[in-house]
Amino acid sequence: MAAAPDPAAQAGRGFALPPRLRLVLKRVALALPALFGVIVVSFLLTRALPGDPAAYFAGPAADEASIAQIRAALGLDKSLPEQFLVYLGDLMRLDLGRSISTGQPVAEELARRLPASLELTLTALTLSTLIAVPLGIAAAARQGTWVDHACRALVTAGVSLPTFFTGIALVYVFYYHLGWAPSPLGRLDFLYLPPEPVTGFYVIDAALAGDWETMRGALAQLALPAVTLALFTLAPLARMARAAMLEALSSDYVRTARAAGLTPGKVLFGVAFSNAMLPVVTTLGMVFSFTLGANVLVEKVFAWPGIGSYAVEALVVSDYAAVQGFVLAMAVLFVLLNLLIDVIYTLIDPRTRSA
């Protein structure tokens, strides 16, 4: 005689989480120690920066008593463990401190500058993806032809040319020589007023407001820095797309699909590309997380007011709070991006749905 079902076990099974949600929660739990490690490392590294922020804030004419008073006001007279505990307490209140160079809260500075970096980075990644993925597919499908050689040459140029050189060359050609581009002085020309902030992206906010003239001006300012960054991010995407497609096209399931009589288009896009998407998505996430914090050279060339230039300015003056806030913001964005990649994996890879 079969045993009666246990109501408690059934209740426990009734509250079982879906596999996809379990995967996301597992990734979140694994990310928490990494975030704490980033907090500790950023705190210690900023204290190792050369220079005394209290002396910088006090000015060159300040005496030792004034510097000591400012150091006490900034909390720098305490021991490192005490400073770290105070820093953790501020983080629990979502307080990233106040910048000693601008006098503004670091959280407000990052919130104001982050949309500029995101707009530039996302535009460049969208442009590079639209070029790199089809180019990698075409190079793999026509291996050894001029398309394959052109892909390799473009990848080599993207890896070899520094972003600041590419940016300066584009400014010289399209602004100074041809006069097609506006002056590389920020997100908008002085003739335009910034649109009412909704998303923080000038192009989208101007479009939402129906201000097409400002939108065209924002697009014109965005074009050269986005192309500069896209040439840099295009190389790893095109290389990974080509390598993943070559591996997929030489696999057994592609040969089986061809033997089954599928058309070349269905074999290429329906079978090979669907399996080659996984490493491309991973590479895209890595490139995005790297580019968001490493586009400081592009921001400097085009006077783009993003978080990369903000971090460099903070490093120059040993602004502890600003540097710590930047590192922590980048770490949080990186973790969130990894979670997004995991969610995308569950949608495009059936093997992870039962993980």
Amino acid (one-letter) located at 169: A
- In this prediction, residue 159 carries a pLDDT of 76
Has residue 214 got a pLDDT over 60? yes
Query: In the block, which residue shows the tokens 């065209």?
Result: 216
- Span 284-292, mean pLDDT? 78
Has residue 272 got a pLDDT over 80? no
- Span 246-253, mean pLDDT? 80
What burial class does residue 140 get, using C-beta atoms within 10 Å of its C-beta: 0-12 exposed, 13-18 middle, 19+ buried? buried
Inter-helix orientation angle 212-249/163-170, to 10°: 130
Tens digit of each residue's pLDDT (9 = 90 or more) over 121-136: 889 989 988 988 888 8
- Span 238-250, mean pLDDT? 84
Binning pLDDT at 50, 70 and 90, where does residue 355 land? very low
Tens digit of each residue's pLDDT (9 = 90 or more) over 17-70: 666 667 667 777 777 787 788 788 877 776 776 666 666 666 666 677 777 777
Separation CA 12–CA 88 (nearest Å) = 37
Of 202, 194, 199, 169, give the one whose Cα is nearest residue 184. 169
Give the residue, 80 or 222, on which the prediction is more confident: 222
Tens digit of each residue's pLDDT (9 = 90 or more) over 183-212: 888 888 888 888 888 888 889 989 988 889
Has residue 333 got a pLDDT over 50? yes
- In this prediction, residue 53 carries a pLDDT of 66
Separation CA 179–CA 157 (nearest Å) = 25
- In this prediction, residue 225 carries a pLDDT of 92
Of 287, 120, 106, give the one whose Cα is nearest residue 200. 120
Separation CA 119–CA 308 (nearest Å) = 13
- In this prediction, residue 61 carries a pLDDT of 67
- Looking at the domain covering 114-317, what would its CATH class be? mainly alpha
Amino acid (one-letter) located at 68: A
Separation CA 246–CA 272 (nearest Å) = 9
- The sign of the dihedral angle between the CA atoms of 8, 14, 20, 24 is negative
- Span 172-184, mean pLDDT? 87
Of 25, 43, 49, 16, give the one whose Cα is nearest residue 315. 49
* Percent helix, strand and coil across the chain, each to the nearest 5: 75, 0, 25
Q: What is the percent of the chain with per-residue pLDDT over 70, rounded to a whole number?
A: 84
- In this prediction, residue 101 carries a pLDDT of 73
Q: What is the mean pLDDT of the chain?
A: 79
- Span 10-19, mean pLDDT? 56
Highest mean pLDDT among 40-49, 153-162, 334-343: 153-162
Highest mean pLDDT among 47-56, 94-103, 167-176, 322-331: 167-176
What burial class does residue 105 get, using C-beta atoms within 10 Å of its C-beta: 0-12 exposed, 13-18 middle, 19+ buried? middle
Binning pLDDT at 50, 70 and 90, where does residue 12 land? very low
Give the Å distances, CA to CA, from 322 to 74, 218, 250, 307: 13, 28, 50, 10
- Span 145-151, mean pLDDT? 84
Separation CA 104–CA 60 (nearest Å) = 22
